[in-house]
Amino acid sequence: MTDTSDAPDPAAPPSKSHGRISVRASLKPRDLMEEPLHIKGAWRAKIITLMPDAFPGILGISLTGKAFDLGLWALDVINLRSFGQGKHLNVDDTPAGGGAGMVLRADVLDAALTDAAQHTPRDRNRWPVIYLSPRGKPFNQAMARRFAACDGVTMLCGRFEGVDQRLLDHHDIEEVSLGDFVLTGGEIAASALIDATVRLLPKVLGNHESTVEESFSDGLLEHPQYTRPAVWNDLPIPEVLQSGNHAAIAKWRQAQAEDITKTRRPDLWQAYLRRKA
């Protein structure tokens, strides 16, 4: 392999999308003018954020990064600041009615969402628009499967005290929460959502069975896992896992998954029982 210059190619065409960058996972610093490999119809995530340098982040390495390089999914990062108002490109203002903090403006967000909507279906069942918010519906594996079955998603990463409610109502935006806690912004939540979704896409994982047997795939937490050495610190691998009896192994794993779920997540256990009834 020969080294190439990091200088931009003067013959490269200029970007045609205001405020948008294409991100490519690489061991070298990202060249924002370099176009990643694209496969027609690949699942795509569009992220509207005030922190564009947060992406791809962890998504640019390991399986998600490899899948990105192969064109199995695509990522558009849209810098919200590019749509700011006035000399200082303001994106927020004080809350109506008073209170602490700042609220992201509806007009600024509307411009960014309009830009992100280019070349995407209007049908929210094919292309959800998501606002990462602690008051949203809790993200779970079923939601990840739903998003993976879509053409792509657009995600709005919140900051400050949130966004103008009129914007959420006007654009029919789905609010999604990573859990019952508050982050400084939606970027970490967006990365987690994308990771959980992308790994379900065809060909991303080498072994599709991994997505079938893992936690939440059937409403239960996953059974315990073991590997070599057979004995560690005087603790052996359970005999049944070394028996070669696949029916017995499956029965043991199911019992373990049920016991762990019942003990650790009674809410999931009750939901599992209701589905089986």
Query: For the residues of 76-101, what is the DSSP string, one character each?
Result: EEEEGGGG-BTTTTB-EEPPTT--SS
Q: How far is CA 41 from CA 22, 53, 113, 203, in A?
A: 16, 26, 21, 14
Structure tokens at 178: 């990573």
Q: Are 20-198 and 215-276 in the same CATH fold? A: no
42 confidence band (pLDDT: 50, 70, 90): very high
- State in Å, rounded, how far the first CA of the chain is from the last one: 60
Nearest to 267 by CA among 228, 216, 209: 216
> How many Cβ atoms are within 10 Å of 240's Cβ, its own excluded?
13
Write out pLDDT tens, residues 153-186.
999 999 989 999 999 999 999 999 999 999 999 9
Q: Is the pLDDT of residue 150 over 70?
A: yes
b or e along 247-273 (b: 16 or more beta carbons within 10 Å of the residue's beta carbon)? eebeebbeebbbebbbeebeebbeebe
- The C-alpha angle 19, 114, 68, rounded to 5 degrees, equals 60
Q: Is the pLDDT of residue 16 over 50?
A: no
Q: Give residue 259's pLDDT.
A: 97
Q: How far is CA 107 from the centre of its chain?
A: 26
As assigned by CATH, the class of the 20-198 domain is alpha beta
DSSP state, 173? P
Domain 215-276: give its CATH architecture: Orthogonal Bundle (1.10)
Which stretches of 147-261 are assigned E, i.e. beta strand? 152-157, 174-177, 231-232, 235-236
211 confidence band (pLDDT: 50, 70, 90): low
Q: Give residue 35's pLDDT.
A: 58
Q: Give this prediction's pTM.
A: 0.81
Q: Is the pLDDT of residue 28 over 50?
A: no
Q: Is the pLDDT of residue 69 over 50?
A: yes
Write out pLDDT tens, residues 222-256.
999 999 999 999 999 999 999 999 999 999 999 99
36 confidence band (pLDDT: 50, 70, 90): low
| Residue ranges covered by each domain of the chain | 20-198, 215-276
